[in-house]
Amino acid sequence: MKKLTTSLIFATAMATCLAADPTFTVDASRPAGKVSPKLYGLMTEEINHSYDGGLYAELIRNRVFLDDAATPVCWSVVNDNGSAATIALDSTNSFNDKLTTSLRLTVTKAAKDHPTGMANSGYWGIPVQPRTSYRASILARADSNFSGPVTASIVSNDGRTVYATGKFSGITTDWKRFELTLKTGRAAPTAAARFVITLDQPGTVWFGLVSLFPPTWNDRPNGLRKDLMQMLVDLNPKFLRFPGGNYIEGDTVETRFEWKKTIGPIEERHGHPCPWGYRSTDGMGLLEFLEWCEDMKAEPVLAVYAGYSLKGMHVNPGPDLEPFVQDALEEIEYVIGDTNTTWGAQRAKDGHPAPFKLTYVEIGNEDWFDKSKSYDARFAQFYDAIKARYPRLKVISTIGNDQPETSHVHSRRPDMTDEHYYRSVDEFIRMSPEYARKYDRTGPEIFVGEWAAYEDPKVKPWEAGARQQPPTPSMKAAIGDAVFMAAMERNSDLILMQCYAPLFVNVNPGARQWRPDFIGYDAISTYGSPSYYAFQMFSRNLGDEILSTASLETSVQGSATRDSKTGEIILKLVNPKATAESLKIEIKGLNALDSKGSAITLTGNLEDSNSITQTKKIVPVTTTVRGVKPGFTYKMPPHSIVVLKLKARS
């Protein structure tokens, strides 16, 4: 790859010849490099209830009753006016060897017109939307005296309003799956509701699984929440890194993300403990991740388990590691293999005959934490096996330039390295001007696979104090994010992909483990943080040529790209100061610019943010800019992020 030294030379030259006006200079005489077309993407894992209680649209919490071995958490008895019911976990009566317990509902007295049974509180409520069809399904069997039916309803928490109701009939002593549609009428949206199952007569019914889905994105049966998907699609992501993060590693080898346990019908998925302190249903399995990519027109960046887990366990390279290497090869076959391969055929059986596109496979996650220093040898074993079977795939090492050189992989040359930056706003402002400038342009490609700015340098994202702060970051953090994104964009000939992390947070108390997060939600509403909008402004306005830039006599940082097809020049400018900046914008190497351009601006007080109750306090605003020419002055508002779009004229 060509050395990108033009920026530095240009900056020095400009510094010596220009006056003291705050100036942002762009060299449009020639491109300084090519912008990576995959620069902006997403990273995801199960954290902060990202899937269960988040993107994965299932509404029933503890749907297979395995969340707690002692009690049926999130389920409660519904007894009313002299009726009587009990519920209990029953491990002697399970649907199959994956769903190892069932929930036994016994009604001893059923009063006419009074619902008697059990209720599920959902993930902080069951969202009710007007005129909406919900798909309810159960796995159930009954004792021989019970002749049914079982009534399923969505009911307000106070029991007064039944939003939708239907009946499952034909339940016998044999396990069977039942499904029905529940339709709401003209209800006002609310999450103050629960899912209630009642019996009209005494009897016992065992449930192996209870599920309720609202309409999903692209109507996928085991699909994703529409409002959250819309927010993601609006970011125009080119890739999705999954399934972690720490989630791929698990606390222990046994609790890693085992992809084979996440495919097939949901009744075949036992779920597993997630390292972020709660149980994952595995409803969001390998195929769901891949279809999620497909639905966003993004490419998967597949992280495979590489023999290191968070509590410090590692698998020795060599024969001990070999089964894990084979497992990764099979996982890749599931993703890209033809239907005449074993795992390609399994994918077809699971409902997706066409192979997915895959370019990058990441070996593990943050393996610099492995004190045994086994990563180099583990990486080599995976690398050799993957390259032998799939020579065109690119293999990513999880140890990048943010870690000491001595910890890097040396025995092989990774195609790409992944570096992570959780930094305070001040630190990003300080480090961004020089970030990556000195990187070896002949070295591996770079992926910034996790990054985010946080406001208070004393409160780190993973510390308990962070959970006392609002779940999503403020305008201040967006400023830190934007200067770092501009730096990555300036170096996007080498930094080919970047993604903010974590992506999601359920804002309910007790739901979150990490902050800051990009997108917040509860059962019924969703919103983007200022950081989300800053990212959107960057990702949706990107040229294909990097132009060299220099900031002179100003604290404004930025980047410039050009769309080679239209000639449009796109400047990203960030003013971290509390005062407006009259910025001279010098564009060298152009004869003329259209006098009319446009500006997309995100600005606000540093402490301002969006929230679940005020979802649009900080959003980008588009305006027309007049008087544009190769040297013109643009007034940057205080604490602002601006995308300027300028048209070149010949």
Q: Point out which residues bind ligand AHR (CB under 6 A).
A: 45, 47, 244-246, 365-366, 450, 501-502, 514
Is 208 or 502 the residue whose CB approaches ligand AHR more closely?
502
- Residues 498 and 541: beta-carbon distance below 8 Å: no
- Min. distance of Cβ 249 from ligand AHR in angstroms? 8
- Min. distance of Cβ 630 from ligand AHR in angstroms? 43
- Residues 17 and 25: beta-carbon distance below 8 Å: no
Is 123 or 514 the residue whose CB approaches ligand AHR more closely?
514
Comparing every residue's Cβ against ligand AHR, the nearest one is 245
- Residues 550 and 28: beta-carbon distance below 8 Å: no
Is 32 or 501 the residue whose CB approaches ligand AHR more closely?
501
Is 365 or 526 the residue whose CB approaches ligand AHR more closely?
365
Tokens representing residue 36 in the block: 């990576």
- Express the helix, strand and coil content of the chain in percent, nearest 5 each: 20, 30, 50
Is 246 or 551 the residue whose CB approaches ligand AHR more closely?
246
DSSP letter assigned to residue 216: B
- Min. distance of Cβ 576 from ligand AHR in angstroms? 24
- Min. distance of Cβ 420 from ligand AHR in angstroms? 6
How far lies 267's CA from each of 63, 96, 98, 195, 378, in Å? 10, 8, 7, 20, 34
Largest CA distance in the chain: 94
Is 403 or 601 the residue whose CB approaches ligand AHR more closely?
403
CA atoms of 508 and 523, how far apart (whole Å): 9
- Min. distance of Cβ 26 from ligand AHR in angstroms? 34
Q: How many CB atoms lie within 10 A of CB 596?
A: 12
With vertex at residue 431, the alpha carbon angle to CA 429 and CA 435, rounded to the nearest 5 degrees, is 125
Is 45 or 563 the residue whose CB approaches ligand AHR more closely?
45
Is 476 or 512 the residue whose CB approaches ligand AHR more closely?
512
- The counts of H helices and E strands in the chain are 10, 35
CA atoms of 411 and 419, how far apart (whole Å): 19
Is 184 or 417 the residue whose CB approaches ligand AHR more closely?
417
CA atoms of 269 and 260, how far apart (whole Å): 9
DSSP letter assigned to residue 56: B
3-class DSSP state of 534: helix
- Residues 544 and 561: beta-carbon distance below 8 Å: yes
**Helix/strand/coil (H/E/C) assignment for every residue in 126-170:** CCECCCCEEEEEEEEEECCCCCCCEEEEEEECCCCCEEEEEEECC
* Residues ≥6 apart with Cβ < 8 Å to 16: none
Any idea which residue has 């389920």 for tokens? 75
- Min. distance of Cβ 481 from ligand AHR in angstroms? 14
CA atoms of 482 and 494, how far apart (whole Å): 18
DSSP per-residue codes, 582-613: EEEEEEET-SEE-S-EEEEEEE--TT----SS
Is 27 or 45 the residue whose CB approaches ligand AHR more closely?
45
CA atoms of 55 and 505, how far apart (whole Å): 10
DSSP per-residue codes, 254-300: TTS--GGGGSS-GGG---EE-TTSSEE---S-HHHHHHHHHHHT-EE
Is 41 or 620 the residue whose CB approaches ligand AHR more closely?
41
Is 217 or 305 the residue whose CB approaches ligand AHR more closely?
305
- Min. distance of Cβ 372 from ligand AHR in angstroms? 18
- Min. distance of Cβ 609 from ligand AHR in angstroms? 20
- Min. distance of Cβ 251 from ligand AHR in angstroms? 12
Is 519 or 542 the residue whose CB approaches ligand AHR more closely?
519
Tokens representing residue 397 in the block: 């090492």
- Min. distance of Cβ 40 from ligand AHR in angstroms? 17
Is 383 or 514 the residue whose CB approaches ligand AHR more closely?
514
* Residues ≥6 apart with Cβ < 8 Å to 56: 224, 225, 281, 283, 284, 288
Any idea which residue has 């679940």 for tokens? 612
Is 196 or 501 the residue whose CB approaches ligand AHR more closely?
501
- Min. distance of Cβ 501 from ligand AHR in angstroms? 4
- Min. distance of Cβ 544 from ligand AHR in angstroms? 30
Angle between helices 342-349 and 322-336 (to 10 degrees): 50
3-class DSSP state of 407: helix
- Min. distance of Cβ 616 from ligand AHR in angstroms? 26
- Min. distance of Cβ 560 from ligand AHR in angstroms? 30
β-strand partners of 206 = 104, 141
Tokens representing residue 346 in the block: 């399994």
- Min. distance of Cβ 244 from ligand AHR in angstroms? 6
